[in-house]
Structures are given as structure tokens and as C-alpha cells.
Amino acid sequence: MRADPVGKYMHRVRNHPLMPSERDEDESDRDSTEKVMKSRRKLPSREYQTATRLGLIAVIISVVALVVAFIAPGLLGPRNIMAQHSVGGPVTIGSTCTHYPGAEVSITVPGAGTVEVSATVGVGISHVTGVSDFADIVLATSTTDCTVNNYTAFVSVPYTLPTDPYHYTTVPLLRPFSVDAAGTLTFYVNGIMSSGADSGDRFDSASIVAVYYSR
């Protein structure tokens, strides 16, 4: 029987080890692959780098916000200051300037600026038909000042209306006051019956607010 040369050749090929040059190339490929994998593991991903940058930015913004919150107010000067007061109960408004006791507000200011004073005043008029009733309500810096100006509020009950001892109305007041220096200021609600004065004409309530604005 003749031997199979092809089979012997395949057997030799399967059992024949790699040549040195082939082994070197194979090991070199493996080393290169390992180096690439290690380098990839060492370098952070783009997502990680982006998250890190955003975190640093957030910390910086927080620090800046704290600095602004604690330092900026001092650099910008004093902030607005507010004071308020209210009172209720009937007090007769006379034919001479009358202060409504308790309808006043005091405010301490640190320097020059403007104090804006607002008030809501309840006024009752005891009206008799045939008599015209006029009340002037003001904000002032003293209890005896009822000077009529552009900030005065007026209550009017025409003589043609029927008698009504409880004619009631609410008037708003708003007036700015210039301040030249630091100090404590007090503002008052005053009134006067310029026509038709009656013992039943009265203040019924008042609320007053003062706000300081620096220059």
C-alpha cells in the first residue's frame, strides 16, 4: 500500500512550531493591544471630564454668590428701611388743625435721602342736609401742620345730600419727604374741618407706613 504524502504533509504542518519571526510578531501585537487598553483605562472619558468641569464651575458660582450676598450690600450702601404703625377709634376733627393721636410713625435714617410716607385714613362725617362739609386730611412733620398742598386728601359731603350722622369714607395719602442728614423723623396724620364742623366729624382709623430710600 502506498503512503499518503498529503496526509504526512498536513501532519507536519499542524505539529510544526511557529518560526521565531512569527512568534515575535504575535507577541508584539499582543503587547501593543495591552498598551492601548491600559492607556484607555488611564484616560478619563469625555463624559467624566465634562462632569468634573461642570462641578468646578458650580463651586465657583456658589463662592461668588456668597461673596456678593455678604459683601455687596456694604459696598452699595444702606438698604431701604421701613417703619409702620396703625391706630383705631373715633377722635373728633375740629375746625382747627387736629392730630389723630397714635396716627404717626417714626423712622431712623442713616443719611440723606427720601422718606416716602403713605397712609390710609378712615373719616366719618356727621352731615346735616343743607350744610356743605369739607375735611382736609394731610401727612405732615408736626402735629399742627394742616397746610393744603398737592398731597392733601379731601373729603366732601354736598349740602344737597340728606342728613346722615355716619357718612363714612376712606382716603389714601402719599407724600415724599426729603432728608438731608441722618436722624430720627416722625410723620403725622392731621386733619381739619374747613367747612361744616360738627362734634360728630371724626377720625375712625389710620394706618401709616414710612420707607426710606438712600441717595
CATH number for the domain that contains residue 178? 2.60.120.760
Question: How far is it, in rounded angstroms, from Cα 20 to Cα 92?
Answer: 121
Do 51 and 98 belong to one domain? no
Position 27 scores a pLDDT of 59
- The answer to whether residues 86 and 43 belong to one domain is no
For residues 194 and 88, state if they share a domain.
yes
- Look at residues 203, 201, 167 and name the one whose alpha carbon lies nearest to residue 188: 203
Distance CA 148, CA 162 (A): 28
**Non-local CB neighbours of 76 within 8 Å, separated by 6+ positions:** none
Contact 94, 136 (CB under 8 A): no
Dihedrals phi, psi of 210, to nearest 5 degrees? -120, 135
Same domain as 210, residue 156: yes
- The parent domain of residue 172 ranges over 81-214
Helix (H, G, I), strand (E, B) or coil at 123: strand
Q: Is 98 exposed, middle or buried (0-12, 13-18, 19+ CB in 10 A)?
A: buried
Task: Say what percent of the chain tops pLDDT 90.
Answer: 62
Q: What is the pLDDT of residues 172-198, one digit of tens each?
A: 999 999 999 999 999 999 999 999 999
- Mean pLDDT confidence for 45-68: 73
| Shared-domain flag, residues 90 and 172 | yes
Q: Residue for cell digits 373728633?
A: 92
* Predicted pLDDT of residue 19: 55
Task: Identify the domain boundary among 75, 102, 123.
Answer: 75
Check whether residue 209 and residue 126 sit in a common domain: yes
Total number of domains in the chain: 2
Q: Are residues 70 and 140 in the same domain?
A: no
Do 130 and 40 share a structural domain?
no
180 SS3 class: coil
Are residues 36 and 18 part of one domain? yes
Confidence of residue 56 (pLDDT cuts 50, 70, 90): confident
Mean pLDDT over all residues of the chain?
Answer: 83
The set of cell numbers assigned to 176 is 415724599
**Average pLDDT of the residues in 116-124:** 98
Query: Taking 90 as the threshold, does the pLDDT of residue 63 lie above it?
Result: no
Residues 183 and 201 grouped into a single domain: yes
Tell whether pTM > 0.85: no
Rounded to whole angstroms, the Cα distance separating 120 from 116 reads: 14
As a whole number of angstroms, the distance between CA 143 and CA 41 comes to 84
Task: Please tell me the predicted confidence (pLDDT) of residue 86.
Answer: 98
Whether 143 and 98 share a structural domain: yes
Query: Residues 6 or more apart from 212 whose CB is under 8 A from it?
Result: 80, 81, 82, 107, 109, 113, 114, 115, 179
Q: Can you give the pLDDT at residue 85?
A: 97
Q: Pick from 75, 108, 128: which residue ends a domain?
A: 75
CA–CA separation, 179 and 109 (whole Å): 9
pLDDT at residue 140, as a whole number: 98
Taking Cα atoms as reference points, which of 124, 138, 149, 135 lies closest to residue 189? 138
Q: Are 68 and 110 within one domain? A: no
Final residue before a domain boundary, out of 75, 106, 123: 75
Q: In the chain, what percentage of residues exceed pLDDT 70?
A: 71
The rounded radius of gyration (Å) of the Cα atoms in the chain is: 45
